[in-house]
Amino acid sequence: MIPPISAIGALPVPQVAAPAAATATPGVDFGGLVSNSLQQLQDLQSTSDNLAVKAATGDLTDIHDYMIASNEASVATSLTVAVRNKAVDAFNEIMRMQM
Amino acid sequence: MGMFDAINNAGSGLVVYRKWLDAVSDNVSNINDVSPTSGPAFQARYVVAQAQDYGNAGGAKVGGIELGSAEGRLVYQPDNPLADKDGNVRVPDIDLADQMGQLIIAQRAYQANLSVVQRAQDAYQAALGLGK
């Protein structure tokens, strides 16, 4: 038996979350994330710079220390730039959205 | 750190094997030392590699330096100005072949740690290329 078609009930209205609730949720916000990773990048760069000075003055005991520090700084810089590019791309995508 | 643990651990290994190379170099350079029988002979240095932070961040360290025999070997060299009244001098008890073996161990282990640094960096660079 085919059941009869029932009448359409009231459509559920999409609930829009209150903006206040969204900003009040605790957690890592994007700005804090960026500033933290920038601080880490800064630390890596200064370690690398200190070792470069040591290499120039002849105080460097381990050659690989400088190479590792500069490589770490380079990878971290690439990572930060990649994150920044992604964020800017996402922002531009939103700005291009048709209203 | 966290992000660069693989590289930092390999870096600590590089320090250990750099010191190991230093020890071998010291031993080989002093292999023909002569001392009077009244004093100690040159003592070979042996590096003891140990875990730095087992179970946590990891890495290796030089746990200590073991010294070889101070007694050395007594060699009859009556012409030597340091010889005692019996004509004996003390020379270090270091085996050159053994030192060469140690040299190869240290060199290969240094290279292995360098490859770890290289591979880890290649992996991170490849991860940065995701989605390009």
Nearest by CB to residue A71, choosing from B14, B15, B121, is B121
Is the ipTM of this structure higher than 0.90?
Answer: no
Closest CB to A79 among B10, B14, B128: B128
* B111 touching chain A per CB within 8 A: no
Query: Distance (Å, rounded) from C-alpha B68 to C-alpha B48?
Result: 13
Pairing of strands B60-67, B88-91: unpaired
The pTM of this model reads 0.75
HEC per residue, chain A: CCCCCCCCCCCCCCCCCCHHHHHHCCCCCHHHHHHHHHHHHHHHHHHHHHHHHHHHHCCCCCHHHHHHHHHHHHHHHHHHHHHHHHHHHHHHHHHCCCC
**Structural domain boundaries in chain B:** 5-125
Structure tokens at B13: 């290994």
Average pLDDT along chain B, 132 residues, taken 10 residues at a time: 83 94 95 91 92 83 90 90 90 94 95 94 90 70
**Residue B43: in which H helix or E strand, if any?**
none
